[in-house]
Structure 1
Amino acid sequence: MFALVDCNNFYASCERVFNPNLQGKPVAILSNNDGCVISRSDEAKALGLPMGAPIFKWEGFCKTNNIQVFSSNYPLYGDMSSRVMKILEQFTPDVEIYSIDEAFLQFKGFHNYNFNDYATQIRSRILKWTGIPTCVGIAPTKALSKVANRIARKFPKETKGVYVIDSEEKRIKALKWIKIEDVWGIGRRLSKRLQAKGCKTAYDFTQLPDQWVRKTFSITEWKLKKDLEGNSKIILDEPQNKRAIATTRSFEYTYSDIDNIKERISTFATACAEKLRKQDSSCHMVIVMLSSDRHKKDLPQHRTSKSISLSYPTSSSLIISQCAVDAVTVIFKEGIKYKRAGVIVTGLVPTNNHQLHLFDKENPKHQPLMQSIDFLNSKYKSHKIKLGNQDLKRTWKMRQERLSPRYTTNINDIIVVR
């Protein structure tokens, strides 16, 4: 059996944990730089606040309806997510973290368990230990557990946040209820093609011939079909090292001077290097991207990128940062107001097993230096040690005018009980 555990309105729920006055009130969370709405509480949804709404257009609506609006507090959300996932590991060792607020669980050898009671225990423990409300769907396959979770979320009073598909009758009833466009793994284009074939529900999809599905679509859609039929074909994903690592961000404001852009690029490159070292990888290539604000059509536009190949693989922040800064210096144009930039490291190989270069190699002092920097930054839970061309005050410069305290990751923001 598989379970999908999904945190309800996760970002809004995290804000409510430490600010109980928000319980029962409409809450909205904004994207980077306070751009648009990326998370809403059920109360905000009921008022008609759409997902992706640009806040500058909906500011008056939010004030009129007393919707509490917050900037994204990623340190808080990331820490709360980690706590939830650690709790899930107490119920089974087979956990696949699907997103910041979702995880698949597989129950091997749980033959005599009452899964409804077990799922209720999961919900209760997460709520008691973290304050985060969840819904749990359990079924014989991953795809069906998604369907079960959707039912639990849609009918909270009837299901009490838990739904188990443990019979053929329940499976067919669930598949006839869920629309084809709401099935996990079926996107907008695929749903239109299936609807043209007469598929209105997930059940209709399972009635299509196997051979036709494989021939018309791919093995992925065939596996999804078999999963929905109750024949498990989609397995838990094993954690794998990434083949490329990217750090891209929109700037707090538009920048037209090279110095500010160099500082941002250096910070992005350093973040990529840290991620490389976490998975014991090194890169052969650094790609830098730079673009102006495409929404401001009246301004000159410039969007470009540059790649730099390295003669030897490295994970050194010093080398990767220098390469990235050199690249952005070349592609930068005077008079352009830039809004977004990014650094990608690719051509990844294991740090302890790669082809050596006959004439060129990394400075042997870099590796122990990087280990020391990573250790100190990990110990003090913030980036205290940076390169000389980075801003010493902040890692990500974002407009966050409605930011709540980082209750669990900053000692200065811990709640004081009087």
Structure 2
Amino acid sequence: MYALVDCNNFYASCQRVFEPRIRRLPVVVLSNNDGCIIARSNEAKDLGIKMGDLPFKMLDFLTANNVQIFSSNYTLYGDMSARVMQVIAAAAPKYEVYSIDEAFIDLQGVAINELEAFAKRLKRNILQATGLPVSVGIAPTKTLAKLANRWAKKHPETDGIHVLGTDQKVSVALQQTMVGDVWGIGRQYEQMLNRHNITTALQLSLTSESWIRKSMSVVGLRLVKELKGQSCILLEEMQPPKQNICTSRSFPEIITEKEDVRKWVMTHMASCAEKLRRQNSCASAIHVFLQTNPFRMQDKQYYRSITIPLLTPANNTPELLFYAGKALNAIYRPGYNYKKAGAMVLDLVPACERQGSLFDSVDRLRAEKLMNCIDSTNAIFGRNIVRYASQGYGERWQLRQARKSPSYTTRWQDVIKIQI
């Protein structure tokens, strides 16, 4: 049996932990640069607020309904996620961190009649340790556990826990789940299945396996077997390293000057380099793109990207910044109002397996020592305390976060003080 533990409305719940006054008020969290709504409390959902809504277009509505608006605070969310995972690790020897607010647990060894008690105990421990509410779905496979978790959230009478412990419960859940809500079914597959009159998860599970394999490949076949109760998706206790890494954001304001664009591109590439070293990988190529705002119809539109292969796979920041500069020089055009830039590192290989080149002139050992020194310094004193001049520095290069909450758990000056 598998359990899926999922934090309810995670970003919004993190904000509520430290501000009791908003625990019964509608809460929304905004994306980078306070762009669109990316998280909502149940109260906000009941008001009809949707994911992706633009707050500046509905500010009067939000104000009239006393909706609490927050800028995203990923430092806070990341730390709260780590605390939840610590509680899960203490309760279960085998678990998989699936996302920032979700984890699968292998319940092998837990008796069927003890599953609900285990879930209740885990839910209580997480709430006590972090203040975050969670839902727990338990089933014979990971796909069914996802479905059980969704059921627990949709049906308040379950108190956030649902166990698909019998064939009858599985059948009922499959019958009442639309095929588009099944884990792994995207929009295109949903439309294709609907055209063949397959609208529910139960109908999908009863479909011929040969037709599924022909129409949805071996991945679809594996999913259908999971719906039938055959465990095909194993627990990944160690997350596999990423094959590509991308960092991109919209600018807080329109940018026209090349040097201003350069600082953003360099900052994004430096972030990619840091992530590469964190997973002990090197990039064989870099990719840089630049674009205007497609929603500003009064502006001339421009989008261009370029990929540059590296002579030797690398993860040291100055080398990647050098190639990023060459990429920007190739794609930048004056006379445009730029809104977004991004950097990617591609074709990643383990750092210990990279192939050298006869024409490589970089002192790799010296570069590695320098990067270790910079990374350790930034880890102690704060991100980007040590940075390259080409990245720029100052408030101008920070994200727009007009409604950002304090980092209650990661900055001493933001720790809540209680007077007795």
Inter-partner Cα distance in structure 1 for 2:395 and 2:97: 29
Structure 2 regions of 5+ residues with no counterpart? Answer: none
1:42 maps to 42
1:24 maps to 24
1:386 maps to 387
2:234 maps to 235
Give the letter for the 1:77 counterpart. Y
* Aligned counterparts, 1:164-313, within 5 A: 164-237=163-236, 238-313=238-313
Offset of residue 117 of structure 1:
0.5
Question: Kindly tell me: are residues 63 and 320 of structure 1, through their superposed partners in 2, closer, same or farther at Cα, counting changes over 3 Å?
Answer: same
Offset of residue 396 of structure 1:
6.2
Offset of residue 111 of structure 1:
3.9
Inter-partner Cα distance in structure 2 for 1:106 and 1:154: 24
Give the letter for the 1:154 counterpart. K
Inter-partner Cα distance in structure 1 for 2:3 and 2:382: 33
Inter-partner Cα distance in structure 2 for 1:335 and 1:395: 21
Which one is further off, 203-212 or 60-69?
203-212
8 Å CA contact 2:112–2:165 kept in 1: the answer is no
Computed over aligned residues only, the root mean square deviation of the Cα atoms, in angstroms, reads 1.6
Question: Kindly tell me: are residues 258 and 185 of structure 1, through their superposed partners in 2, closer, same or farther at Cα, counting changes over 3 Å?
Answer: same
Please give the per-residue CA displacement for 1:132-160, whole angstroms capped at 9, x wherever unaligned: 0000000010111011111111112x211
Give the letter for the 1:403 counterpart. K
Inter-partner Cα distance in structure 2 for 1:171 and 1:403: 42
Inter-partner Cα distance in structure 1 for 2:277 and 2:253: 31
8 Å CA contact 1:181–1:188 kept in 2: the answer is yes
2:51 maps to 51
Query: What SS does structure 1 have at the residue aligned with 2:321?
Result: helix
Offset of residue 307 of structure 1:
2.2
Inter-partner Cα distance in structure 2 for 1:349 and 1:161: 42
8 Å CA contact 1:264–1:390 kept in 2: the answer is yes
Give the letter for the 1:408 counterpart. T
Inter-partner Cα distance in structure 1 for 2:245 and 2:314: 13
Inter-partner Cα distance in structure 2 for 1:188 and 1:353: 38
1:413 maps to 414
Inter-partner Cα distance in structure 2 for 1:166 and 1:393: 56
Give the letter for the 1:58 counterpart. M
Inter-partner Cα distance in structure 2 for 1:407 and 1:396: 23
Which one is further off, 331-340 or 126-135?
331-340
Give the letter for the 2:179 counterpart. I
2:399 maps to 398
Query: What SS does structure 1 have at the residue aligned with 2:352?
Result: coil
Inter-partner Cα distance in structure 2 for 1:47 and 1:123: 28
Give the letter for the 2:249 counterpart. R
1:160 maps to 159
Offset of residue 116 of structure 1:
0.2
Inter-partner Cα distance in structure 1 for 2:413 and 2:375: 23
Inter-partner Cα distance in structure 1 for 2:48 and 2:190: 26
Offset of residue 113 of structure 1:
6.2
* Aligned counterparts, 1:40-189, within 5 A: 40-111=40-111, 114-156=114-156, 158-189=157-188
Inter-partner Cα distance in structure 1 for 2:28 and 2:112: 42
Inter-partner Cα distance in structure 1 for 2:244 and 2:187: 27
Give the letter for the 1:54 counterpart. L
Aligned residue pair count: 417
Question: Kindly tell me: are residues 138 and 395 of structure 1, through their superposed partners in 2, closer, same or farther at Cα, counting changes over 3 Å?
Answer: farther
TM-score, with length taken from structure 1: 0.96
8 Å CA contact 2:312–2:354 kept in 1: the answer is no
2:355 maps to 355
Query: What SS does structure 1 have at the residue aligned with 2:4?
Result: strand
Offset of residue 394 of structure 1:
6.0
Which one is further off, 191-200 or 66-75?
191-200
Offset of residue 395 of structure 1:
10
Is structure 2 residue 343 aligned with structure 1 residue 346?
Answer: no
2:337 maps to 337
Inter-partner Cα distance in structure 2 for 1:246 and 1:115: 40
Please give the per-residue CA displacement for 1:144-195, whole angstroms capped at 9, x wherever unaligned: 1011111111112x21111111111111111112122211111222222222
Inter-partner Cα distance in structure 2 for 1:182 and 1:208: 17
Inter-partner Cα distance in structure 2 for 1:301 and 1:172: 52
Offset of residue 59 of structure 1:
0.7
Query: What SS does structure 2 have at the residue aligned with 1:218?
Result: helix
Which one is further off, 374-383 or 268-277?
374-383
Question: Kindly tell me: are residues 113 and 253 of structure 1, through their superposed partners in 2, closer, same or farther at Cα, counting changes over 3 Å?
Answer: same
Inter-partner Cα distance in structure 1 for 2:338 and 2:410: 32
Is structure 2 residue 331 aligned with structure 1 residue 324?
Answer: no
Question: Kindly tell me: are residues 113 and 271 of structure 1, through their superposed partners in 2, closer, same or farther at Cα, counting changes over 3 Å?
Answer: farther
